[in-house]
Amino acid sequence: MLPKVRIDPEFESLVPPLSSEEFSRLEESILTDGCRDALIAWRGLLLDGHHRKRICEKHGLKYRVCTVDLPDRDGAYLWIIRNQCGRRNITPEQLSYLRGLEYRLHAKQGRRTDLTCGNSCHKTVRAAETLALAHNVSPRTIRHDAAFADAVEFVISVAGGDAKGILLSPERNLNRRDVIRLAEAAEHEKNTARKALKLIAKKSVRTVEEALRIARDAAGAVCDSGGDILTGDMALLWKRLADNSVDLFLTDPPYSASALDSYSELSRLAQEKLKPGGYCIAYSGQINLPQAISRLSRHLDYYWTGALIHGGGTQQIHPRHILCGWKPIIIMRKRPAGKPSDKWIRDVIPGGGRDKRFTRLGQDASELTYWIECLTPRGGLVVDPFCGGGAVPVACRATGRRWLATELDPVMARRARKRLTEST
């Protein structure tokens, strides 16, 4: 009679999947030599030997069970993680995931030191340093592992428990960047992420980006929620946008002195609606540049001034007799701005020329994609309170972002919607 030991779903989820080849080799070995290594259990729950148990029960073979004494369920959880980290055939992604889970558990437990099994937890103040010593990696690696584990868990929460086997399977060859990319898509494009994961499971695509592109094309839209171009002024955005919900304000307001109040209102709106540390990018003319920066600085923190190089050569600024070859790009951040972003930002952007199909002064959408891709995640929300010919929404659609825009002129708003439709 086989020993009574139960499989706990949460504990089993910590065991990285074997490839079909690895499972076949294990099954062949057990059929030839029997189950040589004992299964490990705690209070009747299996901690190690899930694959061996199933193979033995499938073929009616005997197996041994040894028990371990652990303080509680968290101790059993940690035992499994550390035991799996010592496997010889574990992939870098599986190891990263397990270290990330251990980091989360260790941070939750604080300085607790009774959850040990061979590798004692050092009495250090910070979990990352403790685990870095235990695993012989840097604290930075441990923090990256935690972010990776969070990404895996988030995709699972969106796509279901079977997603873990796909994300961490050695047969899918997904690296950490791939999984984080899927998690970013899943945050705002749940259906797209689910469909992409199915394509990856079937091995019908070579990359995550290809899977997401096919899933979006099949859905007929870039994002689940897409975007909208409203007819009216930016006051409409106060009700439509939740506080701390916008990834980026990207807009080209009027440049005249009489329109400077628009920069003041933009400053107030962006401060309320941007996510912490978020950016507000506003184009400006040269003559009123100091005043525009001053108005934006009423509620936002000034960050930098970039330059858009005119794609069509110089422009004559008659009041100053200047042949101007660039346009200022005012870069602001939500207060308090905090530390600079990890990303390096270029401050000189080549212009794509004017797209006059929909408006005489229309922007080319290609020159906006840099800011969108640099400062927002896939599926992030970009807001343009001065939509004009619709260049920002077009750039958002092309880069997989959501958008919300307003345009005061009804004729221009219709042209912007037409341009967006024709860009699909």
CATH no. for residue 273? 3.40.50.150
- For residues 233 and 271, state if they share a domain: yes
Tally Cβ neighbours within 10 Å of residue 355. 19
Please check whether residue 83 lies inside any domain of the structure: no
- Helices in 202-275 by DSSP H: which ranges? 208-219, 236-240, 260-273
357 and 385 together in one domain: yes
According to DSSP, residue 286 is labeled S
Q: How many domains does the chain have?
A: 3
Q: Does 336 share its domain with 399?
A: yes
At 45, the amino acid letter reads L
DSSP H or E run through 292? helix 289-296
Q: What is the pLDDT of residue 216?
A: 65
Rg of the Cα atoms in the chain: 28
Question: Is residue 203 located within the same domain as residue 269?
Answer: no
Kind of pairing, strands 39-42 and 45-48? antiparallel
State the pLDDT at residue 325. 92
Q: Cβ distance 397 to 423 under 8 Å?
A: yes
**One pLDDT digit (tens) per residue for the chain, 424 residues:** 556 899 999 999 899 888 888 999 999 999 999 999 999 999 999 999 999 999 999 999 999 999 999 999 999 999 999 999 988 889 999 999 999 999 988 877 654 445 444 443 444 347 889 899 989 999 999 999 999 999 999 999 999 878 998 999 888 889 888 898 888 778 767 888 888 899 999 888 888 878 877 876 665 433 444 688 888 899 989 988 888 889 999 999 999 999 999 999 999 999 999 999 999 999 999 999 999 999 999 999 999 999 999 877 788 888 899 999 999 999 999 999 888 877 899 999 988 655 545 444 456 677 899 999 999 998 899 999 999 999 999 999 999 999 999 999 888 988 998 888 887 6
pLDDT of residue 421: 82
Predicted local confidence at residue 1, as pLDDT: 53
Same domain, 395 and 300: yes
Nearest to 386, CA basis, from 423, 361, 369, 350: 361
Say if residue 336 is preceded by a cis peptide, omega within 30 of 0.
Answer: yes
| Interatomic CA distance for residues 86 and 92, integer angstroms | 12
Contacts of 341 (CB under 8 A, 6+ apart): 277, 375
**Which two tokens mark 149?**
């584990």
| Within-domain flag for 44 | yes
How many Å apart are CA 407 and CA 396, to the nearest integer?
16
Is the distance from CB of 212 to CB of 179 less than 8 angstroms? no
Q: What is the DSSP string of 94-151?
A: HHHHHHHHHHHHHHHHTT-----SSSPPP--S-HHHHHHHHHTS-HHHHHHHHHHHHH
C-beta atoms surrounding 226 within 10 Å: 15
Is residue 85 a part of any domain in this protein? no
- pLDDT value at position 383? 97
Any domain includes 249: yes
The tokens describing 263, both together, are 């920069």
State whether 401 and 254 are in the same domain.
yes
- In a domain, residue 36? The reply is yes
Cross-strand pairs, 384 = 405
Residues 187 and 249 in one domain: no
> How many CB atoms are closer than 10 A to CB 175?
14
Is residue 234 included in any domain, yes or no? yes
Last residue of a domain, one of 174, 189, 220: 220
Q: What CATH number did the domain enclosing 6 receive?
A: 3.90.1530
Q: Which two tokens stand for residue 184?
A: 């970013």
Angle at 411 between CA 408 and CA 412, to 5 degrees: 65
**Quick count: other Cβ atoms within 10 Å of Cβ 2?**
12
Any bridge partners for residue 381, and if so which?
Answer: 402
Residue that is last in its domain, among 163, 195, 220: 220
On whether both 172 and 285 belong to a single domain, the answer is no
Question: Residue 83's Cα: distance from chain center in Å?
Answer: 30
Question: Is the residue at 80 inside a domain?
Answer: no
Give the per-residue pLDDT at 223: 42
User: What single string gives the DSSP state of each residue in 364-390?
Assistant: PGGGGHHHHHHHS-TT-EEEESS-TTT
Please check whether residues 376 and 252 belong to one and the same domain.
yes
pLDDT at 215: 78
DSSP string, 59-88: HT----EEE---SSHHHHHHHHHHHHHT-T
Any idea which residue has 């009216």 for tokens?
232
- Rounded Cα distance between 215 and 219, Å, is 6
One domain for residues 312 and 170: no
Q: Pull the structure tokens for residue 226.
A: 């897409």
Single residue among 17, 34, 69 that ends a domain in this structure: 69
For residue 133, give its domain range: 90-220
Which residue is it, tokens 């010593």?
133
Q: Is 175 in the same domain as 238? A: no
What's the token pair of residue 243? 């506080």
Same domain, residue pair 52 and 102: no
The answer to whether 158 touches 186, Cβ cutoff 8 Å, is yes
d(CA 341, CA 140): 17
> Tokens in use for 280?
């507000």
Cα–Cα dist 318/327, whole Å: 15
- Choose among 180, 10, 169, 181: nearest CA to 91: 169
CATH number of the domain that residue 115 is part of: 1.10.10
Quote the CA–CA distance of 32 and 59 in Å, as a whole number: 12
Residue 346 lies in a domain: yes
User: How far is it, in rounded angstroms, from Cα 117 to Cα 109?
Assistant: 16
